[in-house]
Amino acid sequence: MVIRFFLISLCLLWSVESAWANRACARSPMMVKALKKATRKSCDELSLYDIAQVTSLDLSSMSLEKVEKSDFYGFENLNKLNLSFNKIKSFPTGFFALFPNLKQLSLRSNELMSLSSNTFSKSSKLEVLDLGQNKIEVLPVGLFRGLTSVRTLDLGQNYIDKIPEAFFSQNSNLRTLYLGANKITVIEQGAFAGLKNLRNLSLYANELRYISTLILNDLESLEEISLSLNRLTWVRADLFRENKSLKRIYLGGNPLRYLPGSLFSGLNELEEIYVNYLELATFEKTLFHNLPSLKTILLNDNKLTSIHEDAFHPFKFNSGAYVNLVRNPLDDKSQQILEEQLKGRYAF
């Protein structure tokens, strides 16, 4: 009786495995090729176990215009999926729920214009999501609600024009957020609420004309912010008041003619300041004072004609910092001040 049961079990197992092999071979040529690369087996040799052991799948640069769920069944242990540099416009409902253990997902450089609010609702283990270089215009409410583990999120080089209120409120583990090279004109108050662990925020090359202090208040762990190449014409003196961990600030390439003297006040961890390619004719003497960690200031390509005699005073300015002032029409007196106070730690 036991032997008979054992033989029946073997037959059933063989039938399942044979059916699976036929099903594997019936997948699209693209997937058959990818499976062979990932498992080093032909499709007729594949078993359920083989598919379940695949942890990384690279389908980049394959000119894919769409994906079918039937191609992706069985990858329950997949950690990394690369679908970048294709022509995908949308995904089937529930597509990413097929990968409950997915940690890294790249959808870079496709033709995505929109995503449904539940696209990533089952992707709670996802840590890295790259949506850069697509055609996304609108971020639907709840899009990233399920991404409770995400640490790096790239939305750069899309067509996004607004960041809604509390949009990232469920992404408390986020460390790096790329929003550069979009068309952002509005960041609603509280848009970054909940991002207390965010270290890097990139908003370069957008169309921002103004940044409210309240927008950045929740980012208490922020170490780097890029606001370069926007349309900022003025900034508040208390813009970075709550961002005491800042190490690098990028403001270059904006039509700014004035920077408040207390703009960087209290930022004791600040190491690098990029205020180049602005329209500064001068700056307040206190702008760079009392910044003990300061190492580099880029002031090149402004319209500076004069520098206050106390701007780089050794008792108030970090004596180890380097200042780049090339391509500014500085007068002779300012050049003399630079030589006396910076003693070669500058470029002009």
- pLDDT tens for 165-189 read 999 999 999 999 999 999 999 999 9
* Extended strands (E) in the chain: 56-58, 80-82, 104-106, 128-130, 152-154, 162-163, 176-178, 186-187, 200-202, 224-226, 248-250, 272-274, 296-298, 322-324, 346-347
Average pLDDT over residues 289-303: 97
Average pLDDT over residues 12-36: 66
| Residue linked to tokens 């007196």 | 333
101 has a pLDDT exceeding 70: yes
CA–CA distance, 236 with 323 (Å, rounded to integer): 24
Residue 11 has phi, psi (to 5 degrees) of -65, -40
Where are the domains positioned within the chain? 1-51
Q: Tokens standing for 244?
A: 């005491």
Q: What is the pLDDT of residue 287?
A: 97
Q: What is the pLDDT of residue 154?
A: 98
Q: What is the pLDDT of residue 24?
A: 78
Q: What is the pLDDT of residue 319?
A: 80
110 has a pLDDT exceeding 50: yes
Q: What is the pLDDT of residue 26?
A: 84
Confidence of residue 9 (pLDDT cuts 50, 70, 90): very low
**Would you call 171 exposed, middle or buried from its count of C-beta atoms within 10 A (0-12, 13-18, 19+)?**
buried
CA–CA distance, 242 with 93 (Å, rounded to integer): 41
Q: What is the pLDDT of residue 297?
A: 98
Q: What is the pLDDT of residues 183-231, one digit of tens each?
A: 999 999 999 999 999 999 999 999 999 999 899 999 999 999 999 999 9
Between these two residues, 31 and 251, which has the higher pLDDT value? 251
Q: What is the pLDDT of residues 42-55, one digit of tens each?
A: 988 888 889 999 99
Confidence of residue 12 (pLDDT cuts 50, 70, 90): very low
20 has a pLDDT exceeding 70: no
Among left, alpha and beta (phi > 0; psi -120 to 50; other), residue 9 is alpha
Q: What is the pLDDT of residue 126?
A: 98
Q: What is the pLDDT of residues 227-280, one digit of tens each?
A: 999 999 999 999 999 999 999 999 999 999 999 999 999 999 999 999 999 999
Average pLDDT over residues 318-328: 93
Arithmetic mean of pLDDT over the chain: 92
